[in-house]
Structure 1
Amino acid sequence: MLKAAKQTAYENSIDIRWIYTKYGAMLLGYIQGILKHQPSAEKQLIKVLSSYISNHSNLTTEKVTWLHLRQYTQQQLLAFEFKSLDIQPQHNSNKQDDSSLSLLTETERNIFSEIYYHGKTATYLSGVLNLSENEIRSQLKSSLDKIRNAHGN
């Protein structure tokens, strides 16, 4: 006589399929919103879920919340090397902007470009560049002052 395997519903133990089913779409959207590149976001989703399961295998399904998973993902993405993806100054064809940006130091230029042209926040850049938010804001203020002074304002 054949014996059938007993199939049970998800109990309290954590399972990657349960997390993926419940939070996968939201998590992919969150990661894609940060990375702005679909294939990279999908790869990061796999890495995040795999590392989450290995690091939190003792959690139960009641303790896994969207907030907890999102915070873990944010920590993983900050550990991910953003400098090769995001923090590259954009070169504009406008000669006036190029001459203004040439007055700035490399750090000031990166901060100014990311905040002004790409809409990044000081909080985000402080995590990426390993500087305090106050340092980011003072660098931005300094770069704005240099640009204003160069244009006679």
Structure 2
Amino acid sequence: MLQINQNLSVKNGDERLKQVYDQYGGMLLGYINQVIDNEKIAEEFLVNIFTDIARNYNVWNWDEYNIWSQLLNFARSKLIGFSEMAMAIGLDPQKNSASNKCFTKLSTEQRHVLKEVYYKGRLIQTLAKNENKPEDLIRKTLKEAFDQIRNTCGH
């Protein structure tokens, strides 16, 4: 497992951050690696994520019962710009992600709803209100997107 920069001082939180890393670092690396499909870059992302967490330690709610959700949402927010970064360093995200074939059959609306709700963490209610659409339509579109992904990729 990767080591977090030991020189980062978190003030009274070093042990808690280490526990979070030990408990969730492997799962988070697995998620990131699945999105990026490049182990070296995924490891760099993981290090950057925990470095950012260490720098902003007091902003995080460590008493919250669902730390995994917080970490996953933080990772997703960091990964949103991955395609641009990948292109800048010469990688083709379309080739490097086996999961991209799963998304090719989605409609534009399904991709949009999936991106907003799943990757950006927007609430269905908020998305429906912002787009002036019924919540049921957003839910139906999201369900259809997941069904299509399952059918295309066999998950």
TM-score normalised by structure 1 residue count: 0.47
Larger Rg: 1
TM-score normalised by structure 2 residue count: 0.47
Q: Which has the higher helix share?
A: 2
Instruction: Name which structure has the greater RCO, CA cutoff 8 Å, separation 6+.
Output: 2
